[in-house]
Amino acid sequence: SAAEYEAERFMVFDREGQPCRRCNETILRAERSSRRIYFCPQCQRGNNVSAATNSPA
Domain ranges of the chain: 12-54
- On the question of pLDDT at 18 being above 90, the answer is yes
> How far is 32 from 47, CA to CA, in rounded Å?
14
Q: What is the pLDDT of residue 34?
A: 92
> What is the rounded distance in angstroms from the CA atom of residue 30 to the CA atom of residue 53?
5
Q: Does residue 3 carry a pLDDT above 50?
A: yes
Q: What is the predicted pLDDT for the residue at 28?
A: 96
In the structure, what pLDDT confidence band is assigned to residue 4 with cuts at 50, 70 and 90? Answer: confident
For the residues 43-50, what does the mean pLDDT come to? 68
Please answer whether residues 45 and 55 qualify as being in contact, where contact means their C-beta atoms are separated by less than 8 angstroms: no
Enter the pTM of the model: 0.64
